[in-house]
């Protein structure tokens, strides 16, 4: 809330818009694709009201569906085409801190001023025409309509659209003739809406295919690939399989987004960009599959300032000793991505200690290798590090799939969590306005967090051997100190709120000066957003 001149709190214009947006959140909005699309036809009424039919048909669109990697693929694609000199519009989901993250113009979140202008233009028009037959659109549908309005009015050269959920009945699928479509990695997610088999899920995603419009995809499980091929041939869609980017093509530069799977997404982004360039007359032929070099603009686009918050992101705490409390944030929330996330975490914390060792070398080359491991550049003893898990997931997810995948993958890299902390999310799902103030600690229902804790404790029981291998001693002094937690067990604790868990972490770091804390935060992008809000203050 903004402070009014008389000291009373008066919402700012931006908060007012967010409150209006929150009013569109309904229980049903998560399930837009169920129930035969939940009146998908309404979208064409909205387009008429907003006079968007013609402008959308003029947009040169890249449309991307998939279970995982949509946002990353779209972000790479946007960056490549921007570096090629085009004016870009990018629509992604979800957002982490601010809803404007979903709308980027030329790679930058839309300004508050522009957002407000387009927001009210759309909102008021829809409100004026709303009736029993044509109710206000749901939250995500409104955001998609707003994206179309923004990109049309801003006259972008290319609009890159990430599907919100599924494909066929997603609000972004009002697009009739995209320039090119992409399907990123498919896996199990949102089965309650999209179906229980990979085939059914692939069928939903292939719902974005349009007659004659080329579609590109990455290597998929057979069951999914068969369905994609079937749908493609029904619509006369040329479907091409794209291989992961060969790291050697980057001329020694690093991809702008971290994690091995990003080479898969980058490969798809390169193919989408070059097909778009070719189909819009900027290139004679798209780059061949076995190219031995990439144009400089592509390399810049893939390596430069690509940023996507909450995906394989490493953020030191903003406390007095940021080195000693480092958050590793990744919004993985499906079984497959949990494994990838666990591998990324395990490798990055090793890289991190590797860097510390290497950076010692110029200081004193006469040290024995043992010394190098033991000392920091400043000559102090190198700290032991300990790994903590900070986790929550939405109750539609199956923790019996997520947590074992996470724990086993880390264990296979020799990484064991000293403690797992379970917390509720601070912001109510998708709430964007001032209603999203956290509930006070005593009001929160923690039964889901207790359930997660039970799954974790059982896993640890089954892995006693593994746990003993962890760096036992460093943590002893901390284990008794979880009184802030509602329920503290040997390997885990449930906290009534995220701030209380963060406070516990900071207190622990302060008390144990010899330990560095590396905290993996995962399971829910909303949790990541909440953590970022707290630690970036
Ligand atoms: N190609 C991939 N295969 C498997 N997992 C991936 C892949 N790309 C990204 N991920 C995982 O999924 C997480 C989200 O990535 P990204 O935002 O690109 O995907 P998304 O499809 O937009 O996800 P969401 O469903 O949250 O919108 C990443 O943090 C990473 O753990
Ligand atoms: Mg998803
Ligand atoms: Mg996304």
Rounded Cα distance, 230 and 236, in Å? 10
185 lines ligand 1 (CB under 6 A): yes
Least confident interval from 339-343, 348-352, 357-361: 357-361
**Looking at 452-514, which runs of residues are DSSP E strands?**
487-488, 492-494
The predicted pLDDT at position 29 comes to 45
Which residues does 95 contact at the CB level (< 8 Å), separation at least 6?
Answer: 101, 102, 529
The predicted pLDDT at position 190 comes to 76
Confirm if 201 and 188 have CB atoms less than 8 A apart.
Answer: yes
341 lines ligand 1 (CB under 6 A): yes
229 C-beta neighbours (distance < 10 Å), count: 17
The predicted pLDDT at position 514 comes to 81
- Looking at all shown ligands, the one closest to residue 525's CA atom is 1
Asked whether the CA dihedral 232, 236, 237, 240 is positive or negative, the reply is: positive
The predicted pLDDT at position 318 comes to 81
pLDDT digits (tens, 9 = 90+) for 253-278: 989 888 888 999 999 999 999 999 99
102 lines ligand 1 (CB under 6 A): no
Confirm if 73 and 64 have CB atoms less than 8 A apart.
Answer: yes
Q: Average pLDDT for residues 330-344, to the nearest whole number?
A: 92
Whole-model pTM: value is: 0.79
Q: Average pLDDT for residues 287-313, to the nearest whole number?
A: 83
Rounded Cα distance, 308 and 92, in Å? 10
Instruction: Return the axis-axis angle of helices 42-49 and 112-129, rounded to nearest 10°.
Output: 110
* Test site for ligand 1: of 64, 68, 263, 342, most ligand atoms within 8 A of the Cβ: 68
The residue whose C-alpha atom lies closest to atom 17 belonging to ligand 1 is 71
Asked whether the CA dihedral 174, 18, 525, 189 is positive or negative, the reply is: negative
Asked if the model's pLDDT at residue 227 lies above 70, the reply is: yes
Q: Average pLDDT for residues 307-333, to the nearest whole number?
A: 86
The residue whose C-alpha atom lies closest to atom 19 belonging to ligand 1 is 69
Asked if the model's pLDDT at residue 428 lies above 80, the reply is: no
DSSP 484: T
Q: Average pLDDT for residues 380-404, to the nearest whole number?
A: 88
Asked if the model's pLDDT at residue 515 lies above 60, the reply is: yes
Task: Return the top range by mean pLDDT from 9-18, 23-32, 485-494.
Answer: 9-18
340 lines ligand 1 (CB under 6 A): yes
pLDDT-derived band at 384 (thresholds 50, 70, 90) equals confident
pLDDT digits (tens, 9 = 90+) for 446-482: 999 999 999 999 999 886 544 443 433 333 334 444 4
Higher pLDDT, 427 or 423: 423
ipTM score assigned to the predicted complex: 0.99
pLDDT-derived band at 120 (thresholds 50, 70, 90) equals very high
pLDDT-derived band at 505 (thresholds 50, 70, 90) equals very high
Q: Average pLDDT for residues 361-373, to the nearest whole number?
A: 32
Rounded Cα distance, 200 and 206, in Å? 10
The predicted pLDDT at position 292 comes to 79
Q: Average pLDDT for residues 413-441, to the nearest whole number?
A: 69
Alpha helices in 154-261 (DSSP H): 191-194, 198-205, 222-234
Which residue in this structure is represented by tokens 């907003």? 50
Mean pLDDT taken over the chain: 84
């Amino acid at each position: 809330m903004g402070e009014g001149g008389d000291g009373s709190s008066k919402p700012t214009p931006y908060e007012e818009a967010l409150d209006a947006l929150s009013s569109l959140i309904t229980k049903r909005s998560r399930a837009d694709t169920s129930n035969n699309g939940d009146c998908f036809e309404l979208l064409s009424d909205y387009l008429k009201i907003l006079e968007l039919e013609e402008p959308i048909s003029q947009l040169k669109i890249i449309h991307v569906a998939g279970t995982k990697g949509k946002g990353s693929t779209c972000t790479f694609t946007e960056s490549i085409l921007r570096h090629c000199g085009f004016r870009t519009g990018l629509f992604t989901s979800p957002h982490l801190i601010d809803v404007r993250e979903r709308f980027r113009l030329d790679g930058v979140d839309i300004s508050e001023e522009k957002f407000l202008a387009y927001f009210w233009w759309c909102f008021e028009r829809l409100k004026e025409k709303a009736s029993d037959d044509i109710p206000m659109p749901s939250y995500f549908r409104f955001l998609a309509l707003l994206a179309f309005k923004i990109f049309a009015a801003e006259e972008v050269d290319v609009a890159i659209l990430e599907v919100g959920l599924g494909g066929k009945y997603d609000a972004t699928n009002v697009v009739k003739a995209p320039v090119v479509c992409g399907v990123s990695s498919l896996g199990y997610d949102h089965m309650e809406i999209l179906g229980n088999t990979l085939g059914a899920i692939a069928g939903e995603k292939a719902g974005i295919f349009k007659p004659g419009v080329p579609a590109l995809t990455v290597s998929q499980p057979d069951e999914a690939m068969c369905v994609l091929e079937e749908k493609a041939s029904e619509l006369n869609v040329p479907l091409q399989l794209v291989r992961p980017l060969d790291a050697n093509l980057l001329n020694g530069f690093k991809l702008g987004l971290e994690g091995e799977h990003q080479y898969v997404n980058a490969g798809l982004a390169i193919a989408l960009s070059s097909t778009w360039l070719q189909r819009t007359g900027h290139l004679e032929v798209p780059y061949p599959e076995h190219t031995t070099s990439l144009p400089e603009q592509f390399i810049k686009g893939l390596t430069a300032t690509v940023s996507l918050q909450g995906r394989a992101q490493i953020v030191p705490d903003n406390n007095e000793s940021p080195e000693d409390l480092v958050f590793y944030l990744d919004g993985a929330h499906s079984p497959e991505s949990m494994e990838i996330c666990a591998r990324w975490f395990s490798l990055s914390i090793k890289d991190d200690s590797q860097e510390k060792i290497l950076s010692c070398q110029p200081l004193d080359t006469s040290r024995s290798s043992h010394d190098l491991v033991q000392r920091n550049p400043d000559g102090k003893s190198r700290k032991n590090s300990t790994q903590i898990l900070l986790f929550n997931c939405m109750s539609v997810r199956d923790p019996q799939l997520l947590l074992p995948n996470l724990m086993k993958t880390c264990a296979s890299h020799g990484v064991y969590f000293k403690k797992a902390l379970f917390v509720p999310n601070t912001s109510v799902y998708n709430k964007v306005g001032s209603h999203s103030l956290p509930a006070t600690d005593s009001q929160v229902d923690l039964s889901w967090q207790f359930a997660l804790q039970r799954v974790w404790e059982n896993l640890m029981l089954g892995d006693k051997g593994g746990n003993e291998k962890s760096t036992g001693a460093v943590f002893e002094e901390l284990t008794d100190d979880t009184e802030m937690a509602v329920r503290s067990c040997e390997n885990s604790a449930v906290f009534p709120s995220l701030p209380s868990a963060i406070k516990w972490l900071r207190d622990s770091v302060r008390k144990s000066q010899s330990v560095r804390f590396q905290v993996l935060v995962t399971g829910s992008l909303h949790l990541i957003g909440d953590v970022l809000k707290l630690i970036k203050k």
